[in-house]
Every structure is written in structure tokens, then in C-alpha cells.
Amino acid sequence: MNCQPCQADSDCNQAGLAGFGCVAYGPAGSFCGSSCGAGRSCPDGYACADGRCRSSSGSCACNDIGVALGAETTCERVAAAGTCMGMRGCGASGLSPCLGPTAVAELCDARDNDCDGATDEGLVCPGGCSRRGVERGEPERADCLQIFAGTLALRPGVGWSKGAPAARTSGANSAR
């Protein structure tokens, strides 16, 4: 069970196994690690750190159990504009890359582009339309509706234009 993707300790203690915990590996996600120390050593390829066996290489691959269970972990997609949460998991071809949106500078499009939990912060949309204005119950004008429907967008270096904003990967940042 060492190195199986996980989201909680309970993901690591299945099929009667005990003594495993979910260990954070930074932006790559979290992976199972068995208890170590006090007379308990780690298997080859692992080192004991903070009472858990961690991969000596600092990365993990899927094992047969992880593939059979479809084991998953959250991960981070780090970019200059911010960090978005994603998911990765075990499949027939091994551990997937971190799938999720990439943070970009905020656009006036009613989306959390930089993955900080707020939408369109600090921006005023055309004609004074802002997401916060709509949330406060201010009248929704046609341009506001176009922005929030994704048919009018502020594009860097272009300005306001009709048409859907650049394609985005749907995913984890909407749950943040």
C-alpha cells in the first residue's frame, strides 16, 4: 500500500491493513505510507520521515491495488498567477498527471481565474457591471448577462470582445 494515492488515512487502511497513513508529497498530492521508527523499518526504496515511510525518490507510481481501486489524490497546479487544485489518480496507464485548471490573471468573466476563491476581484466590467453588483441585487443589464454567460470577455491585449473566452479545463477550482 506504500505510495498508493490517497485523500485520507482511511484510504490507506483497506482490506484489513492497518498502520498506514496518508502522507503529503507537496503539489504532487498525497500517498500512503506505512508506520516506521521504533524498530519498524521501511521497505527498499523508502525512507522513514516523521514516522511514515516515504518514497526515497520523492515521487510515487500506482501499484496494482491502486489501479484496481481507482485510487485518487488531490494535487496542485502551480502557476505565476496562483495555485489551482486538481485531481490525479491510478488508471490502466499508471498515475495520471494533475488534471485541473491553470491559474491565470483575473478576467471579467464571472470565473475564479486565479483560483483564490473569489471571482473578478478588483475588476469592473463594461458599463460598471461587476459580479459583486449582481450579487448585491443590482439590475442585470444585457452586458452583464453576456459576461456571466461567457459570451463577452475581456481578453488581455485585445479588450472586450464577443465570443466565449479561451477554452478552460473544468474542474477542481470550482469546488474551492
Predicted structure pTM score: 0.69
Q: Is residue 76 part of a domain?
A: yes
Give the pLDDT score at 118.
87
Q: Where residue 102 falls among pLDDT bands split at 50, 70, 90?
A: very high
- 40 plus 108 within the same structural domain: no
Give the pLDDT score at 133.
53
Domain count, the chain: 2
Q: Is residue 169 part of a domain?
A: no
Q: Is residue 175 part of a domain?
A: no
- 116 plus 63 within the same structural domain: no
In whole angstroms, give the CA distance from residue 4 to residue 170: 25
In whole angstroms, give the CA distance from residue 100 to residue 98: 6
| Pair 32, 20: CB distance under 8 Å | yes
Q: Is residue 176 part of a domain?
A: no
Domain extent, residue 71, equals: 9-95
Q: Is residue 126 part of a domain?
A: yes
Last residue of a domain, one of 72, 95, 118: 95
- 78 plus 108 within the same structural domain: no
| Helices of type H across 8-77 | 64-69
List, edge to edge, every strand of the sheet that includes 72-79: 72-79, 82-91, 94-95
Query: pLDDT above 70 covers what percent of the chain?
Result: 68
In whole angstroms, give the CA distance from residue 31 to residue 12: 8
- 34 plus 91 within the same structural domain: yes
| Pair 108, 125: CB distance under 8 Å | yes
- 89 plus 110 within the same structural domain: no
Q: Is residue 171 part of a domain?
A: no
Q: What is the mean pLDDT of residues 41-61?
A: 93
Q: Is residue 56 part of a domain?
A: yes
